[in-house]
Amino acid sequence: MSEENSQPQEEPTAKEKKSLKKYLVLGFIGLLITFLAIPYAYTSNPKSCTLCHSMDKYYESWQKSTHTIAAKNCFDCHIEQGAVSLWIYRISFYREIYASIVGAELKPAGATVPGIDSCQRSGCHSLNRVSSASGDIKIDHRGHVTKANLSCIKCHPGAAHPNVGKTGALLPARKMCKGCHAARMNDCSFCHIKKHVGTKGFVHD
């Protein structure tokens, strides 16, 4: 055995240990930032929802609706309000990225149908409305939501995606109102603010 090999190897100095620890911490921070940045970049573009789902028609209908002004991204309406829910959705988007690579069909994780909180976001819809947008139909929105326990999309399932897939129409059909107000359907003043002749402009069965 040579004299060189017989000598014990020197232990790393305190300075070297500190430097190694520093590089490990910086490396971990870099990996964490990269891990978060990838799904953040994808989900920041609403077009990303068309990567691995049959969502092209929904994306196109949204682009044509007024919701492009109020909702700049799909998650504004389709993710529960709050930073935690948003980041859970963003992190889980890795499965969509993977699906787009391998060609698999997956439903978006963490996404849901719009809730009342989504519709009542600042600058959006209010429950204080007591008439239709056209101003000729009486409709107490607060009463329907709080007393009848109806969600916004119960009456307006196609608010941003009218008649795309199984979404439904923008406005409720007359038969939906009839389900609760059958006894008052012959009382014109119960629904109508203005006098109308015929049925033009109204949604019927």
Residue 93: predicted pLDDT: 85
Residue environment code for 159-185, b if the CB has 16+ CB neighbours within 10 A, otherwise e: bbbbebeebbebbbeeebbeeeeeeee
Read off the tokens for 42.
């994808």
In the structure, what pLDDT confidence band is assigned to residue 194 with cuts at 50, 70 and 90?
A: low
Pick the CATH number of 16-191 from 1.10.3820, 2.60.40, 1.10.10, 3.30.70: 1.10.3820
Write out pLDDT tens, residues 132-184: 887 888 889 999 999 889 989 889 999 899 989 888 888 888 888 888 888 88
Count CB atoms within 10 A of the CB of residue 99. 17
> What pLDDT is attached to residue 124?
86
In the predicted model, is pLDDT for residue 202 greater than 50? no
pTM: 0.68
Q: Which residues 6+ apart lie within 8 Å of 97 measured at CB?
A: 38, 39, 42, 51
Neighbours of 3 (CB within 10 A): 6
Q: Is 103 left (phi over 0), alpha (psi -120 to 50) or beta?
A: left
